[in-house]
Homo-oligomer: A and B are copies of this chain.
């Protein structure tokens, strides 16, 4: 009996690839076992259950995304930072649809707090340093930016803007322009 060399780490990475290939919804413990040519039950030594697998893939995706965002923000500010950050999200979602879906898998509060989620908020806040908003407007703006990026990419990957003019890239560019303009002229009470 030759051992397959399974580890939680390898399983999660393979699960992420599987998600990108067949969709996050189709990621099952069974499919993963098939991919490693191993019996299903064997995976349960490395994963608590199916939800555990999905959660771990979600955490991987969140971390990858935060890493890329952090790198993109380095040395940039203002609109330049805003655009780079936006592109990281969109590009990641288009290149890794399964992982991106995973990144929105509901986490329980404890797990969420320990995830890269807070780093995302932190990075978004860093962008706003170039715009000089007072609290609590800064928080509102963080939520707005998160909503736009997340919402746009969501709708786009769901095929929302696929077959209509103007093309999605152009809307994306113009929306980033509009957000930049909004942040520079943020309406305070």
Contacts and interface: CB of A to CB of B under 8 A. Distances in A.
Nearest to A157: B106
A53 to B, nearest CB: 15
Interface string A160-189: 110111100011001101100110011100
Interface stretch (A32-40, A41-49, A64-72, A145-153): A145-153
Interface of A: 104, 106, 109, 112, 136-137, 139-141, 143-144, 146-152, 154-155, 158-161, 163-166, 170-171, 174-175, 177-178, 181-182, 185-187
Given A174-B137, A187-B178, A155 B146 contact: yes
Q: Is chain A's binding surface mostly helix, strand, loop or mixed?
A: helix
A127 to B, nearest CB: 16
B182 A178 contact: yes
- Identical chains in the assembly: 2
A140 B109 contact: no
A162 B187 CA distance: 24
Contacts of A159: 106, 109, 112
A139 B171 contact: yes
Contact of A165 (B112, B136, B151): B136
Contacts of A154: 104, 147, 150-151, 154
A135 B139 CA distance: 32
Nearest to A144: B175
B160 A155 contact: no
A147 B166 contact: no
A185 B144 CA distance: 17
